[in-house]
Structure 1
């Protein structure tokens, strides 16, 4: 990670520390329940403790960090039941986005979704679950973008950040990518068909399957 990039204090330092910490948590470099020691993090990122503390407060608001009374901060643990509850919220919001995308996406944007679908099919055939997981994330991101529904997008970004660990675990489960591939291809096909109701149904069916997998 960059050491001491930019100023060590003030707003830029807080933003730098926030971006670095967020990436480390989202990429699994910092594991759930890991202690976040302000002194160590300040040294690692070349900023003051005050900048780290401010960044941790922001991450707490985003649901990525929890502060333990008299013990400082740690990476927040998201239980399976909470992951299910978050996914239930995603069903509503992502269903809305898919319906909007089916109406609003340009032909070029639909071609982009189809290219992702082709790459996902290849990743499954080649037995590359991590590539598949990245493409899965990209597909959902593009559908949200093409929906033009900024409020839903902002809410989903916050919800999805909390599910990173569970997403990777599901991607590595034997047989899971093969099952979810058809669900994702159905999402793409219904958006391509310009059928908002079918697109919403396809997304809900996919996320219902994710909930079932989380509970297994």
Structure 2
């Protein structure tokens, strides 16, 4: 990874350090409960320890890192119960975004949505689970962008960051793409039809399906998979 570089003053938080560590945590470079050693992070990102310390404080406020008294910081592990709660909050917010997207979508937006939907069909047909997982993320992000709901998007980015490992495991779960594909297609169809009621219902139904699947996925994957 490219070093984040020191901040101009040599003191305080460098936004690039926060972003770099956040990306490493949500990208699976650091496993749940892994210690975040300031000296090691300072060397890795080429910044002073004060910048790293401030970055970890910010990430703790986002729920990605937890600080343990007299033991420093570590990557926070999200429990199954919390993962369910996060997804239930997503149901409300992403349902809102889907409704707004149906009201605001331009013809260019509809073309982009249908293009992702077609690629998702191809990925499932080819058994390309990694490709499908990436398209899944792109579809949700596009719906949020089209919605123009900046506040919801900010909150959702934080929630998805906390739950990113389970989202990946769910997308990789055998048989899951065949279940979620028609759910995603229903979202696209409703947004493209400019039907906000149907769009919200389709998004909420999809995320309810995620809630229902989480316990099964939790049982079927060993804890070491969290390191991915």
Alignment of 1:72-111 (within 5 A): 72-111=72-111
* Structure 2 unaligned regions, length at least 5: 217-228
Alignment of 1:26-175 (within 5 A): 26-175=26-175
Give the match's secondary structure for 1:85.
Answer: helix
Q: Distance in 2 between matches of 1:201 and 1:53?
A: 43
Which deviates the most, 198-207 or 152-161? 152-161
After superposing on structure 2, the runs of 4+ consecutive aligned residues of structure 1 that deviate more than 4 Å are none
Q: Distance in 1 between matches of 2:168 and 2:179?
A: 15
Aligned residues: 215
Q: Distance in 2 between matches of 1:145 and 1:214?
A: 26
RMSD, aligned α-carbons: 1.3
Give the match's secondary structure for 2:14.
Answer: helix
TM-score, normalised relative to structure 1? 0.96
Deviation track 1:124-161 (CA, whole Å, cap 9, x = no partner) reads 11111111111101100010110111111111111111
How far residue 16 of structure 1 moved from its aligned partner, in angstroms, is: 2.2
Give the match's secondary structure for 1:66.
Answer: strand
* Structure 1 unaligned regions, length at least 5: none
Q: Distance in 2 between matches of 1:20 and 1:68?
A: 22
TM-score, normalised relative to structure 2? 0.91
What does residue 226 of structure 2 align with? none
Does residue 10 of the first structure (1) align with residue 33 of the second (2)? Answer: no
What does residue 199 of structure 2 align with? 199
How far residue 7 of structure 1 moved from its aligned partner, in angstroms, is: 4.4
